[in-house]
Amino acid sequence: MLYRLGKVSVRFRWFIIVFWVIVFVALAPFTFRVSANLKAGFGNVATESDKAIELVRDDLGIAEATVTLLFSSDSLTVADPRYQQEMESVLTSVREMPQVREVVTPASRGDPNMISADKRTAYVTVFLDTGEDEAMNLYPALKERAQDTEHLQVWSTGSIPIFAEVRDVSESDLRRAEMITFPLVLVALVLVFGGLVAAGLPVALGGASVAVTLGLLYFVALGTDISIFALNLVSLLVPALMRILGDWNWWAPRFIQRWLPRWYVPD
């Protein structure tokens, strides 16, 4: 089967080349937009914990997504008017976001446990009127509003910031790995084949296959939920499946196999 496929590929080589160039050109622009359609979290999974979250949100009115803002100062205490003024300035900007349902501060709750023992650090809980996936997409805008002030350092923590940053690091690490791997592979292939053209062809095909796969992933994600972590798997998915399938990679329907002899080219 592989022999026949090779001979057919030689006979229709220009058609095959033009076809895949068109596919690459059509899908390559979507490679850089695929992450916008992927889910930042883990999607809608019908687990007991996920159902419990829905009950807490719908029946008890407790926000599913929260972000904790931590305020700290090296020179001021929480009771200092300048501390209060700068913290309120940050929180006013956060409250202006339409997705923010409620902001709970030590003063509004009257809870001394929200303030550290040295009175220089306090935390605030921001309740968002969104699900976890939407909250992770919203987090960069919230973080932009919660910036350090003259006397206060502001940190954000909680599950939403952690998962959002894991997503961003995962995506950036994938790009960095590809930028490092492809040149190393090219150098190794030059040493093996002894020529730049022969070495560059597998690298070019590998890069093009990743780009095409990511482009297809963009359109698949329009119709179904796909995790952002798929970006780490997509470059390994095709060779892994080919390894698993073995000889089945070259399977074709019988009517195509009957046509193959007509397309043979002489040895």
Residue 152, pLDDT > 90, answer yes
Please indicate, yes or no, whether residues 230 and 194 belong to a single structural domain of this protein. Answer: yes
Average pLDDT, the chain: 79
Please indicate, yes or no, whether residues 136 and 100 belong to a single structural domain of this protein. Answer: yes
Q: How does residue 265 score in pLDDT terms, banded at 50, 70 and 90? A: very low
Please indicate, yes or no, whether residues 103 and 192 belong to a single structural domain of this protein. Answer: no
Domain containing 149 equals 63-157
Strands of the 100-104 sheet, one edge to the other: 100-104, 121-128, 65-72, 153-157
- Within a 10 A sphere around the Cβ of 122, how many other Cβ atoms? 22
Q: What is the largest CA-CA distance in the chain?
A: 90
Dump the DSSP string for 8-42.
HHHHTHHHHHHHHHHHHHHHHHHHTTGGGGSBSS-
Of 131, 157, 183, the position where a domain reaches its end is 157
Mean per-residue pLDDT, 222-248? 70
Please indicate, yes or no, whether residues 12 and 37 belong to a single structural domain of this protein. Answer: yes
Name, in order, each residue with C-beta under 8 angstroms of 191's C-beta and a sequence gap of 6 or more.
Answer: none
Please indicate, yes or no, whether residues 149 and 187 belong to a single structural domain of this protein. Answer: no
Please indicate, yes or no, whether residues 82 and 24 belong to a single structural domain of this protein. Answer: no
Mean per-residue pLDDT, 157-171? 82
Mean per-residue pLDDT, 33-50? 64
> What DSSP designation does 120 have?
S
Higher pLDDT, 229 or 220: 220
Q: How does residue 28 score in pLDDT terms, banded at 50, 70 and 90? A: confident
Collect contacts of 34-37 with beta carbons under 8 A, ≥24 apart: 34/214, 34/215, 34/217, 34/218, 34/221, 34/231, 35/171, 35/228, 35/231, 37/218, 37/221, 37/222, 37/226
Residue 62, pLDDT > 70, answer no
Of 138, 157, 176, the position where a domain reaches its end is 157
User: pTM of this prediction?
Assistant: 0.61
Give the CATH number of the domain where residue 136 resides.
3.30.70.1430
Among residues of the chain, what percentage have pLDDT more than 90? 24
Q: Which of 85-94, 140-149, 248-257 has the lowest mean pLDDT?
A: 248-257
* Torsion, CA 15, CA 18, CA 22, CA 24, rounded to 10: 110
How far out from the chain centre does Cα 209 lie?
19
